[in-house]
Structure 1
Amino acid sequence: MSQKKIPTLYEWAGGIESIETLFMKFYERVPGDAILGPVFADMPSHHFKTVAHFVSEVLGGPKLYSGDPSHNHSTMVAKHLARHLTDQQRKRWIELLLDTADQLRLPDDPEFRSALIGYLEWGSRIAVLNSATSENPLDESAPMPTWGWGEVKGPYIPPDQDI
């Protein structure tokens, strides 16, 4: 009996083409959104690709983000510092992104969507936390986050605190 290889979330989503299309279509919708439009008003046109490469890598894809010497987990965190993002903006970001995923017919099986929503919830909440400060909690050697089919390992503890 041969054992089947479980695909990464990146592979299950359809790889780089699907993830780049997801973020391209999502960010095309953002300027017209009353809640998100102001947040992303000054984003460069290639922003979607940067985010797609980061998310692709987190979901088990190739090092398209951290493979660039100017990018690492700390540089992504730095993009959110002192932006004072709100929970309303965070929730809308997830809602619009998932709606775009539905429109593009990305996989909608319960396992994939559970893992994807888990990552989006985790990552967006981290972004809101980091946006409330001007101090980057990560140094350049911090590893990229990775996300798979079941990742929760305990409560969130900020990098500068112990339990």
Structure 2
Amino acid sequence: MAGTTLEVTVTMYDHVGGEDALRRLAEAFHRAAVADPQIGRMFRYTGDAHVRHLTAYLVEVFGHGSAFTDEIGGFEHVKKMHADLRITDEQRERFVELMLAAADEVELPDDERFRTRFEEQLRRAAAITTRASRMSQEDLGTRHGTLGRWTW
């Protein structure tokens, strides 16, 4: 058909190179976070489990599968892991900075479309976990939805 364009939608998961790239991102972020004086205390006790869980989280929100929800607990797990951390706004911003630096370190795509959307979604996720870290025990017991997908 002349004049017709076929648009193929590539998921963010495919765009970054799949699970291996997201695992490298989780590893680089975790190393930086543990060593960071501002947020390190929140990550030092988590060890390899944090890398595995963060990888599964990223794989799912980037648009591939549902292992984080099905096997780890999804958003309810996110709430539980951040409960009582009382994350400050400065710590939330530091998380975003370190995650963006880790993306550079592992050479995730740097095209403007991806980086803009990636940073927007990181900031959104960081705001959600910050709120969860400040929830009362009563609020933590209330179901609050699902992870969702990071899309273009």
Q: Name the TM-score class by shorter chain.
A: 0.7 to 0.9
Rounded to whole Å, the distance in 1 between the matches of 2:46 and 2:64 is 24
2:56 pairs with 1:53: yes
Q: Which residue is equivalent to 1:112? A: 114
Equivalent of residue 20 in structure 2, options 10, 14, 17: 17
| 1:13 Cα deviation from its structure 2 partner | 1.1
Rounded to whole Å, the distance in 2 between the matches of 1:51 and 1:19 is 9
| One-letter amino acid matched to 1:60 | G
| 1:118 Cα deviation from its structure 2 partner | 0.8
Moved over 4 A (4+): none
Question: Alpha-carbon deviations, 1:33-80, whole Å to 9, x = none?
Answer: 111211212113221120111122111112121231x41221222211
**1 or 2, which has the higher helix percentage?**
2
Unpaired stretches in structure 2, ≥5 consecutive residues: none
* Paired residues of 1:73 and 1:145 also in contact (CA < 8 A): no
- Scaled by the length of structure 2, the TM-score of the pair is 0.88
Unpaired stretches in structure 1, ≥5 consecutive residues: 150-163
Q: CA RMSD in A?
A: 1.7
Q: Which residue is equivalent to 2:102? A: 100
Rounded to whole Å, the distance in 1 between the matches of 2:132 and 2:92 is 12
